[in-house]
Amino acid sequence: MIEAIGLTSIPRKEQPPAVDNVSFEAHTGRVTALLGAPGAGKTTALRLMLELQRGRGITYFRGRPLHGIPHPAHEVGALLGDVPGHPARSVRGHLRMLCAASGVPARRADEVLEAVGLVSLRDERLGTLSRGMDRRLGLACALLPDPHTLVLDDPARGLAVGERRWLYDMLREHAAQGGTVLCSTADPKEAARFADHVVTLDGGRVVADQRAADFARTRLRPRVVVRSPHAARLSVLLAQRARSTQRSVEVVREGGNRLCVYGSTCAEVGETAFRNGIVVHQLADELGDMGPGAGAGAETSTAQDPQPSSAAIDAQSRPDPEPGAAAALDSGPEPEAATPALDCGPEPEPSAPAAAAAAVPAPKAVPAASTTLESPQEAPADDTPQAAPSQQPATPRPTTVALPPPVFVRPAPTPLRPVRYEIRRAAGVATGYIVGAFVLAVSALTAVLLARIGHTPQPRLLAAWPVELPLPPAALGAGLLGALAFGDEFRHPALAVDRGTVPRRLGLLTAKLFVASLTALALAVLTVGCTAEVLYLVYGSELVALPADWPALTAGWLALVTGCAWAGVLAAGVFRSTAAGLAAVVAVPLLVVPAVHKMTEGPSARGPVPFAGRLKDGLPPRWPFGGEQHLEALLRLLAQPVGGAMALSVLALLCAYAFTGLRSRVR
């Protein structure tokens, strides 16, 4: 079950809070509707419950707050708005990626696809789904870790009648299996139709907390809707007939040619129009909404009874008879546990309607609420003289009020299987394949043109790296793929829904760097192999001969491409943009290399040999067991301007990423 206690949002400037001391319960085995007009505070209340927004209050999910649950997605499945995802990703690929993020087997994706009826559309792209299919996919994402509780924010908005019926049947099935469902809506008729319990919000406060049957009786009123070009005349005739028959009939004109008739039937209204020759364009029965205060008034009258009978208490506390959910309803909350929770709101003296509405869900709290409604200084019935106020002992009143605990924003979830998640994220869209194919084609064409022009060294020829360009196409492609690793997370947040940021965890960063390194190495090897094959086919074998120092050249080539990929990953993670990640890669040869070259090529204060020259000479002492040649090769690689600048840039971006991660944790 869900217990929301004292939910209060932080007000903006001088405006009242969007949610003020909201407390209610959603029982296991029931579908609870959070009803309210647009702006009543439904979405804010759900965000406070899910710890997506700062405020005050606390919410217990089966007795535990959300921040106290190790893996919240396995306890609460949420759907707030549309499904976030790359529009080019397939439905099945998106769910399999979320399976890796939630730590569940990949076969779970096929199970939920069958449950929501999307098996035939599993290969469709997210960008091509209709509104109804998107809602089904959102429900599949919420059901993926098999949670006990579902929290949905207006899931039926914009759906057709058939899709709405299917959605509510799914929610009822989940509740019948022992789960808890909390669903917000703005339509009172819809709430009375699908919910077992209705909590009404108005102006950020709870004004009614009722069973669906009581809600339908007090909030919805039968009426006859009439549309006629002679609405004014028909209204007068209906009023005259009601007076002649001494019946209570109310006629409300709702603009134009529409009438709403309360206390009559379609037959009577149609007969009156027919006898007087009035044309009728519409005549139908419907349920009229009496406003959010209708349910509050009925509950207030119940709460004002100072000594309610045991039969009334049993009628209020008895759950609705739902087939298949009797066992789950027997384990519902005890009223005593909800009584102290209702007294810890930010207001020390609640008004009568608020206290009455809050006292209804807990029957044993009704006498206490009635006591607060009675004034302690009310005049007695008899004429007994009372002592002067100065002679009465002063009763000290409490000056402090116990406020609900603050609601802190829960950190964004991190993937439980980060490497598997990153592989499926990168391989689930065609962007990486398109970039790789474009890089290979440009590299082969560039190598052929350089060979025809001449004056290009063979290592640069195989890498398709003209002297005039700061970086070869393979390095730029690796940097772009690395930037997309974090750029897509911010554009299509699969992990950080409704948070606006990606979790800065060491495991996620390591997985992205690892997958980016593998992609960059594969791209580097394929580039050299492709250019060598094209040069062999066009010019023969003299241009593809293996150079003498190929180990050092190979190490430098692989290190350059991997460094570009890492720079793209880190820059996109720091600046939250793919373009910023690619700009950081391009800035290395254009800005950082001249600066490093200027610092390392000048003579030092203690000798004429520059720093880069000393690095190229290697280590003066020799190690006793050998192995110094590998370190010397690394130093020679760093001595090159591009290598040193790339290492310096990656180190600076790594420090910036760590700094931003620490700053977000401090907040």
- Domain coordinates of the chain in residue numbers? 1-75+148-219+290-365, 82-146, 229-280, 418-666
Residue 497 has a pLDDT of 75
Residue 641 has a pLDDT of 60
Residue 371 has a pLDDT of 30
- How far apart, in Å, are the Cα atoms of 394 and each of 168, 196, 388, 391? 57, 48, 12, 9
Residue 525 has a pLDDT of 95
By CB atoms closer than 10 A (0-12, 13-18, 19+), residue 396 is: exposed
Q: Are strands 180-185 and 205-211 parallel, antiparallel or unpaired?
A: unpaired
Residue written as token pair 């950020």: 204
Residue 389 has a pLDDT of 41
Please say whether the beta carbons of 196 and 1 come within 8 A. Answer: no
Question: How many DSSP H helices and E strands does the chain contain?
Answer: 26, 15
Of 481, 457, 642, give the one whose Cα is nearest residue 560: 642
In whole angstroms, what is the distance from residue 93 CA to residue 121 CA? 12
Tell me the average confidence (pLDDT) per consecutive run of 10 residues in the chain, 667 residues long: 94 88 95 94 95 94 93 93 89 96 94 94 93 93 95 92 93 95 94 94 93 89 90 90 87 85 90 91 86 57 34 36 35 35 37 35 34 35 41 48 82 91 94 96 94 86 88 94 93 81 89 96 95 91 82 87 94 92 89 72 51 48 49 53 76 88 61
Task: For 551, list phi and psi in degrees, rounded to 5.
Answer: -65, -45
Q: Are strands 76-80 and 149-153 parallel, antiparallel or unpaired?
A: parallel
- Match domain 1-75+148-219+290-365 to its CATH number in 3.30.479.30, 3.40.640.10, 3.40.50.300, 3.30.530.20: 3.40.50.300
In whole angstroms, what is the distance from residue 237 CA to residue 228 CA? 13
Q: What is this structure's pTM?
A: 0.75
Residue 541 has a pLDDT of 83
